[in-house]
Structure 1
C-alpha cells in the first residue's frame, strides 16, 4: 500500500502544473522551440515548433532578400509563403520572431538552401580514402538522370554526424555524366569548378571526360573506416550512402565493431534504411571492405554502377586501375 501511494503521488506531481512554495501556479515563461525546417516548393518554407505559434512578420529579415507574401499557422506548423522564387542551391539566412499562446517570444536565425526541383538521379560511384601524393582523396558521382546539381550535399558522415560536407554548385548534367569532387584542393588557379566545358579545370586527378568540382576547403576522407553520403541539400533527404571498413564486430563490443568516431554516423545510417545491414544494424562486415585500398587502388562499383545498397556492389581495383571520370574497371585487387 505504501508503495502504491508513493507511485500515485509521484504521478500526480509529475503530471501537474508547476507551483511555487506557496502553492501558487507559476506562469508559463518557456518560449517555443524550433524542431524542423523544410522546403515544399520554390516559394514556401515550413517550420515545425514544439507548440502552436503566431508569426511576427515585422521582424522578418532574409539574406539574400526574400519578400513575404503571406503566412499561416496550423497546429505546431508555421508556413511562410514568399513572393520571390528561391535560387536553386543558394544559401539563405533568415531571422524572425514567433510567439506562443502565452506571449513567450522566440527569436531564431536559420539557414536553408534554395529549392531545386530539377535535381538529377545520382549515386556515389568511386572513392579513394587512402589517397596520397598525386592521387589525393576524391569522390566520383555517377549521373543517371538529367538535371541540375545545385544544392546537393556530399557529407563525410551523415547530415547529423559528420566531419565535413560540401554543397555542389549549379551544374547542368545528363545521364551517363561523371562528377569528380576533389576533396583536397591545393588552391591552384587551375582548380576550376566546371560548368560549360569539361576541359577547363586542371589540378590533380582532373579529367577532360568528367565535370570537375573542387571542395571549398580541405576534406580528407577517413582512412580505412568511414561513411560517405549524398543528400538533396544539407537539410534534405538522403540520396545515397556507402559505409566502408576493414574491421569486424569483435573489434569493439561497445561500438558493434566500429570506432568511436564512426559509430554515431553508422547508427544514423541504420535508421535511414539506405544500406542493407544485419538484424536492423550495420556492422563492419556489412560495409564495403577497405583493406588494401591506396591512392591508385580505388574503391568502386562495377562497370554498370550496380546499386543494391550492399557491400557486394563494390570492390577494390588493382594498382593503377582507378577510373575517376570514366567507366569503372571490373578487375578486382588480389592481395
Structure 2
C-alpha cells in the first residue's frame, strides 16, 4: 500500500474550507479529517485544492511555433506544453487542436494529425505529467472539417468538439478593424491582401458553414461527444447552440449571449486571461462583468496556462466569495461539463488524488507542489 499524509493544510472542500488532514492511498483520496496530526507532510497552513481541469487551450500551438516561421520538433513541443500545464496546476487538459484555419497552407492544416498522434503517443506511453484529452476545434468554413472530424470520432481521447466560426464581421470579430489588427499581426497578412482575404473568408462561410455545422452536430449526437458553441454574440446564436445539443458556450462575446446561455442551461466558459487583464483583447465583454452577474461557470486558460489559477484568486478577491466556491470554475464545473466529475474535480474520498498546494501571498498565487494520482509531478 502506498500512502501519503498531508496535514496542516487549508483544505478546499466542495462546500467549505477546513484546516485539516488529507490521506492518499494508492493514488486516491482515502480520508479527510479536520485537525492536524504529527506525521506526514506539514503544509504550515498552505492551501490544498483539486488540480485544475482545462477544456480549451491552444498552448501546444505556441510550443510548436514559439516564433513566427519557427517550427519546433513536435515531441519536444508536446513535452514543453505538458510541463507548462502541470507547472500551472493543470492536472487534466483537453488539448484544443484546430481543424481548419483561416490561411491556406498554414501549419494548422498540415500538423493537426501529427499533433494528435504525439498526444496519443505521450498519453499511451505515460510520458506526460498531466492527463491529456482531445478537443477538436472545428472551423465551420473549412471545406474538409467534417471529413477530418470523422477520422477521430472514435478516438478514445476525444472528449469535446467545438464549432468555430471566425468569419470577419460577426461573433468574436464584429469589428472588422479588430479583425484586421489581429490577423495582420498574427499571420503577417499585408494591408493590400487584407480586403481579398476578408472576402474569401466570407465566401467560404456562406459556402460551407451551415452544412458542416449540421454534419458535426449529427456526429456528436451519434457518438455521445460533448459539444460546445464558440463566440456566441446574440440570443439567436445561443438558441442555435441549444438546438444543436451543446453543453458548453465558449467565450460568449456579449452579456446578452452569456445570459441567454446561462438561462438555457449551458455551461458558460470564459477566458482566464480576460480576468487577469481586466478585459477582452478583442474588445468584447469583460469576463469579470459576466461572473459578477452570475453568468460564468468555467474558466479556461486559453493561451496562458498560468492565468487559470491566478484568475480563481482574482475572482475570489473581487466578488468576496470564498476560494472553495470560486475554484469550482476550474475544478468541479469543467469536470461535470465533460463527464469526469465521477473521479476528479473535488476533494472527496474515493476520487483521484489530483492535488495542488498553493501559497497565497496576496499577489500572484504560487504553487509549491502538484500531485497527480497521488504522485508528485511538480
The two structures have a TM-score, normalised by structure 1, of 0.23
Q: Which structure is larger by alpha-carbon Rg, 1 or 2?
A: 1
Greater RCO (CA < 8 Å, at least 6 residues apart): 2
> Which structure shows the bigger proportion of residues in helix conformation?
2
The two structures have a TM-score, normalised by structure 2, of 0.21
